[in-house]
Amino acid sequence: MSEGSGSSPLKSEMGNTTISNAVVSQIAGIAAQEIEKVQMGGGASAAVGGFLQSVTGGVTGGSTSGGGNFSKGVSVEVGEEEAAVDLTMAVEYGQSIPQITESARRNVINRVESLAGLRVTEVNITVNDVQIPEERPMLQEQEQAEEMARRQEQRA
């Protein structure tokens, strides 16, 4: 069973470690949000849609595990030793989209590989909105309202 010692950080002679899609999705989402001028999941239109879903009882985000907004706009495929990541985001107007997306891609790869021990095969990024800087406080307030609604639903 164990031919090469340390062939994968997730397999050892003492057992195997499995990391769920939800965990990798959260790591990737947090890593992408560490880049300035990035809003995961899109801009104002996505925020309004998410708010309406939370008010009407719809499911928001891509995670059902209570991961909050960390996995919003993130889709992953996780294998035994590797992962592929798809991100959907908005970028602040006036910023270089290629530079920001490349920074996000590098950070996601570094974080997933160092924290989860998985080799990242690709990070595909879709920029679906351009955000005006004045919208950011409104989006943050809306995200806080969504989080409060989710917590209330969990208590009920």
The residue-averaged pLDDT of 44-51 equals: 50
**Rounded distance between C-alpha atoms, residue 54 and residue 8, angstroms:** 41
**In which band, very low, low, confident or very high, does the pLDDT at 138 lie, cut at 50, 70 and 90?**
low
* pLDDT higher than threshold 70 for residue 136: no
Residue 9 in any domain: the answer is no
Asked, for residue 7, whether it belongs to a domain, the answer is no
**pLDDT, mean of residues 52-62:** 43
In a domain, 10, yes or no: no
d(CA 11, CA 23): 18
Q: What is the pLDDT of residue 114?
A: 97
| CATH number of the domain enclosing 124 | 3.30.300
Provide the pLDDT for residue 156: 72
Q: Which position has the higher pLDDT, 3 or 138? A: 138
In a domain, 47, yes or no: yes
Which comes out higher in pLDDT, residue 87 or 63? Answer: 87
pLDDT at 65 > cutoff 60: no
- Cβ–Cβ < 8 Å for 39, 143: no
Domain assignment present for residue 155? The answer is: no
Give the pLDDT band (50/70/90) at residue 116.
very high
Number of domains the chain is built from? 1
Domain range for 51 is 16-150
* Residue 4 maps to a domain: no
Give me the pLDDT at residue 68, please: 55
Residue 130 domain flag: yes
Per-residue pLDDT at 60: 37
Q: What is the pLDDT of residue 152?
A: 83
- The pLDDT, as a whole number, for residue 100 is 97
